[in-house]
Chains A and B, each alone.
Chain A
Amino acid sequence: MGFFDNLFKSKEKRKNAQKYKLGMSKTRSGVFSNLKILLESSKVISDELFDDLEELFIMADIGVDTVIKFVGHLRDTVEVKEITSPFDLKEIIIEEMFKLYVKDEIVSSNLDIVKDRLNVILFVGVNGAGKTTTIGKIANEYINKGYKVLMVAGDTFRAGAINQLKIWSERVEADFYSKEAGSDPSSVMFDAIKYADNNNMDIILCDTAGRLQNKKNLMNELGKINKVIARECVGAPHETLLVVDATTGQNGLSQAKIFNEVTNISGVVLTKLDGTAKGGIVLAIKDELNIPIKYIGLGEKIDDLEHFDVEEYIYGMFSDIF
């Protein structure tokens, strides 16, 4: 029986997991598929096997510190439970990874969206991470659920950014608010909230310009945007989502830390997971900052978005073991 079988009792769950599996299929034929081969080809659980496991996890961009800690837990568990076969190790790995992510708390990937109030969601991240596309996808989700969604063009800097979001709003049939290019983003947010109030919006999705976390003036600008939103709308932003590209290395952790200093990052969106990168840095982000992953992006199309489910994520990574 085992942990893994318990996870997938319901058919529904299995169906969703299939989507993860497809989107991440290339992932599996990359490094992690070697996990199956590695475990199958090892006769005993040895130091060498643990070294090889470290290698696999590091190649997933999980990050040296988290990997060393994780493999340390594996070693302890193996000792305590007296596991001798590498094949049994697979269940331990999944279990430990689950524990690492969840940390005995209830982790939800739902957004803090409440009826009868104006919900503000702020999207932040470095250049090229996929904020605008993600907003399009999330807008689509909530429009389909019957909410009135306003998309706000907070990137007033990058060429074509406003129009890019506008086209998305037309695709999903959401409302759209913008000011002219070059406007102060804080003033855009200010006016957008007024507009949303006057037009009975349920959710505002605010796009911001991509920015590198080491640019002090840009981080200050973001802090200001955050303050303005908070001032104009009680409890806002209700969610601040950090959009992280799955190909990002250790810098992802630095992004999370520093963006979290000027805003209250409530969740991560891990994009471009349909590539060969595993996006393991989000595990390090959860481990060190306790910021959960809310969504994963699996492509450029409008419904290439999934709520994050750690079990499905692990399944997508490991499913060729089974």
Chain B
Amino acid sequence: MTRHHLSAQQENERSSELRSYVVGYVLALILTLTPFALVAWSDLSNMKLWSVIGICALIQIVVHFRFFLHVSLAKQKREDLHLILFTTLILVIMVGGTLWIILNLYTRIMPSMLP
């Protein structure tokens, strides 16, 4: 069975999934190019640049999950969505906690190690 045996519905699904990949790719490109271009050519202040990089990265991660990994908020049997949200929670706790604790230690006892 080859392509032309697909039913109309499958043909529809195929093109909508293809569209989703293309949209995802274009969005990801924009979100990658923006921070690179800004860092290379703009003279924004460091703090502003870091914020732009951070925001673009977070949006791009969501874009990848949505368009490449097909994880969405749709009401389906979504253990995987719960899993991602829980992982994010743990990640925030562990990374946030580590930064908070260690950077605080630096300011108090090892100021030379502060970034």
Check if A and B associate. Answer: no
Binding site for A on B (CB under 8 A): none
